Amino acid sequence: MSFLKFLKAAAVVSAMLATASAALAKDELVVDLVNEPATLDPHMQWNPDSYYVYRNIFDNLVTRDNDGEIVPQVAESWKQISDTELQLDIRGGITFHDGEPLTADDVVYSVKRITDPDFSSPQLGQFNSIADAKKIDDNTVVLTTKEPYPALLAQLVKLSIVPEHVAGKLGKEGFNEAPVGSGPYKFDGWDRGVQVTLSKNDAYWGDKGPFETVVFKAVPDASTRVANLRAGTADLVVSLNSDLAMQFEGASGVKVLSAPTERVGFMGMNTLVPPLNDPEIRRAAAMAIDREGIVEGILQGGESVASQMATSAHFGFVDGAEPIPFDLEKARAIVEEKGDAAKVPMKFATSPVYDQRIVQAIQQMLNEAGFDVEISMTDMATFLKAAQNPDQTGRPQLSFGRWSCACQDVDGVQYPLLHSSSNWSRVNDPELDTLLETGRATLDEEARLEAYSKVQKIVADNTYILPLYQAAALYGANDALVWQPTANESLFLNRMSWQN
């Protein structure tokens, strides 16, 4: 049975199972992550293991429903009052976990906090179009952008509201250790390296969580996550690959859940340091990678080869763009011609959260082409710190990543990864910068599409980054857990339940 057929069969079986096969509802939900969160401050890292946890502690200005539509959260309504001004009507009756009300002042503080360059948020590139936030009255805030910014509302899906009276007092490190939000779950404790515990917020203004307690455990080994689910010591496990998911075939009490995502798997290349500052060497590295082989021979979970740093779900996706063709012989010829310049030893940075089958396959493909690549494995926090090192020479020459903006707009993917001002970027191309700025600074959709079409051509011609595949998310779950995975890969606990 193919994996896709297995998923379809599993879905049918799950729908037909009687409640007698479901485990009794439990007060505690145990979720096995790959790593512990890098941070619980929502204005810092946005990596999956952090986001899975803190998104349940905090409310955001707006959110997306299970169908991907932007819907109210802290802002119960909004309207564009000029090309550069968005008015937000702030919901009344929301309280933080310490009992204090969430106000328009907290919204203004949160916006200014994440957009302050001195705060050094890794998310700054997604919000630095905001020039100002002003409280108009107790229920109204106006955001002003530096210029028209069509992706603003989509980006605000990710902007969590933090309490000024707590975050301002504790500072960045203190707030990370004792986060206070207004979401459906409250922070209870963090046993470093082991688990984070949340408890239900009974005073939540919206849909309340079904579990009294939720424990997020750090379980780097994927086979251990699978074993925990089968043994009943975990109820939901993340970051499965197709091989692991197949182990649940025929197993009782567990199921596989999946969803295509907005996330693009890619090989990052530091174009500012040797040997990848040479475009011909970058081209050789790209031609050495058999992306179809990765998708069809390794992943087998519903992924597809990516031609660009976007999916068809993103505004700005360029129809008809062709991926760089796999051509090992040409890659070898370029490496041979370049000689020692192409054979500078390169570190390939990765972390356990990523599928190491892919990382190892890419390393082998590059070395077969004549490169000298060594895998450098670190925990996620160290990986992220290196990726954003202010000194480009301290950043890895190669890295594997999977990027999603959860905004369905290419600005949220391509600007942070490719614009020279971003702390994620390893590219410095003034023409590319100008086009990316044009794409995010006009409300004219045709002009935006034209800019992103040119971006795609420049990125492909210069091989600035290598898109690999559009990712699918695979989860293992207790058969009694009712939950619909979404393209933005959020684990909204208050959208889950136990079968009755």
Q: Are residues 148 and 210 in the same domain?
A: no
Residue 125 domain boundaries? 62-166
Which among 109, 137, 166 is the end of a domain?
166
Q: Are residues 317 and 440 in the same domain?
A: yes
b/e sequence 115-137, b meaning 16+ C-beta within 10 Å: beeeeebbbbbbbbbbeebebee
Q: Are residues 242 and 139 in the same domain?
A: no
Q: Are residues 298 and 413 in the same domain?
A: yes
The tally of domains found in the chain comes to 3
Q: Are residues 69 and 136 in the same domain?
A: yes
Q: Are residues 252 and 269 in the same domain?
A: no
DSSP 381-433: HHHHHHHT-SSGGGS-SEEEEEE--SSSBTHHHHHHHH-TTSTT-----HHHH
Residue 266's Cβ-side half-sphere holds a number of Cα atoms within 13 Å equal to: 26
Q: Are residues 286 and 392 in the same domain?
A: yes
* Separation CA 143–CA 220 (nearest Å): 41
pTM for this entry: 0.75
Q: Are residues 339 and 426 in the same domain?
A: yes
Q: Are residues 328 and 268 in the same domain?
A: yes
| Identity at 147, one-letter amino acid code | E
Q: Are residues 157 and 179 in the same domain?
A: no
**344: phi > 0 → left, psi -120 to 50 → alpha, else beta; which?**
beta
Beta bridge partners, 217, equal: 32, 195
Tell me the two tokens of residue 320.
Answer: 């008809």
pLDDT at residue number 381: 85
Q: Residues with Cβ < 8 Å from 297, sequence gap 6 or more?
A: none
CATH of the domain at 29: 3.40.190.10
Q: Are residues 317 and 372 in the same domain?
A: yes
CATH of the domain at 133: 3.90.76.10
CATH of the domain at 418: 3.10.105.10
pLDDT at residue number 15: 41
Q: Are residues 104 and 130 in the same domain?
A: yes
Per-residue pLDDT of the chain (500 residues; tens, 9 = 90+): 444 444 444 444 444 443 333 344 689 999 999 999 999 999 997 788 999 999 999 999 999 999 889 999 999 999 999 999 999 999 999 999 999 999 999 999 999 999 999 999 989 888 989 999 999 999 999 999 999 999 999 999 999 999 999 999 999 999 999 999 999 999 999 999 999 999 999 999 999 999 999 999 999 999 999 999 999 999 999 999 888 888 888 889 999 998 888 889 999 999 999 999 999 999 999 999 999 999 999 998 888 999 999 998 899 999 999 888 999 999 999 999 999 999 999 999 999 888 899 999 999 999 999 999 999 999 888 998 899 888 888 899 999 999 988 788 999 999 999 999 998 999 999 999 999 999 998 889 999 999 999 999 999 999 999 999 998 889 999 999 999 998 888 999 999 999 97
Q: Residues with Cβ < 8 Å from 124, sequence gap 6 or more?
A: 114, 115, 117, 422, 423
Which among 126, 145, 166 is the end of a domain?
166
